[in-house]
Structure 1
Amino acid sequence: MKDTQMVQDPHQVTEERPVWPALRRGWRRKCPNCGSGPLLKGYLKVRDHCPVCREELHHHRADDGPAYLTILIVGHLMAPSLLMVFTAFQPEPLVLFTCFAIGTVALSLYLLPRLKGALVGFQWARLMHGFGKSR
């Protein structure tokens, strides 16, 4: 099931966790440990623990990281698209603004919870911020 290798540390015993499965589970907004429990209880609120496997999730420190990544991705997608559409089709400014404003908001709202889940999954996999403490 779960391929983990025990690493002996003088202070505590921790396990190596695979990063990519944790990122994928977080992107799907699922628990990075079991992959079936919900990670978020609202739009962006991370649960204190997984209701399925009881993994503690309150250790996360996502802070502003998901917002920065969302701005980075949306900006890099929408800015060149705006230039290409404007030079190729030359639409009316109000039409151009309306279409790209809606597209920017929609893409941002789609990406933000997924990037937050992926960031929490990354922190879980790398045993950051208290995720590696033995129970």
Structure 2
Amino acid sequence: MPETAPPSSPLLPVLRGLGHRCPNCGRGKLYARYLKQVSECSACGAPIGGIRAEDGPPWLTVLILGPFLAGLTFISARQENWPIWIKLPALGAFAIFAVLMLLPRIKGAIIGLLWAMGAQEKEED
């Protein structure tokens, strides 16, 4: 059985999760695909597949990006040097890109935080 004791500080597992790494050792990958978690760490064997972030990552992504994108939309609406048919697709593409970049990092950070709080000890139903 691998050593999976929660660390004394939650900061290190959160930072490891931000980097898409195992919150226990920091060496193994956290994801098999874009948002699909691996069942266990390839380096230390920690059971990270059972930690479920649920609705937290999308909610936090919207909470972080929403005000920024709303402000960016307002500022671009006040600019009259670009036509609307250029601004709207550009803002839409930027919003999609920002969400796709931020969502796995936030999910990794939440998984790291849950790991630090001892969520790996709970059984899956």
CA distance in 1, matches of 2:103, 2:7: 27
Residue of structure 1 in register with 2:40 after alignment: 49
Residue of structure 2 in register with 1:18 after alignment: 9
- Letter of the aligned partner of 2:106 in structure 1? L
For structure 2, the residue ranges without an aligned partner over 5 or more in a row are none
CA-based RMSD of the aligned residues comes to 1.5
Percentage identity across aligned positions? 32
Choose 89-98 or 109-118, whichever is displaced more. Answer: 89-98
Residue 132 of structure 1 and its aligned partner are, at CA, apart by 3.7
Residue of structure 2 in register with 1:4 after alignment: none
Structure 1 stretches (4+) deviating beyond 4 angstroms? none
> Computing the radius of gyration over CA atoms, which structure comes out larger, 1 or 2?
1
1:75 lines up with 2:48 in the alignment: no
CA distance in 2, matches of 1:27, 1:77: 20
Map 1:1-135; keep pairs closer than 5 Å: 15-87=6-78, 89-90=79-80, 91-128=82-119, 131-132=120-121
For structure 1, the residue ranges without an aligned partner over 5 or more in a row are 1-13
Residue 49 of structure 1 and its aligned partner are, at CA, apart by 0.6
Retained in 1: the 8 A contact 2:23–2:115? yes
Tell me the secondary structure at the aligned position of residue 46 of structure 1.
Answer: coil
Number of corresponding residues: 117
Higher strand fraction (1 or 2): 1
- Cα-to-partner distance string for 1:85-130 (whole Å, 9 max, x where unaligned): 222x2232111101100000000000111111111101000113xx
Choose 70-79 or 118-127, whichever is displaced more. Answer: 70-79
If asked which structure has higher relative contact order (CA below 8 Å, sep 6+), I would say: 2
CA distance in 2, matches of 1:15, 1:104: 36
Tell me the secondary structure at the aligned position of residue 42 of structure 1.
Answer: coil
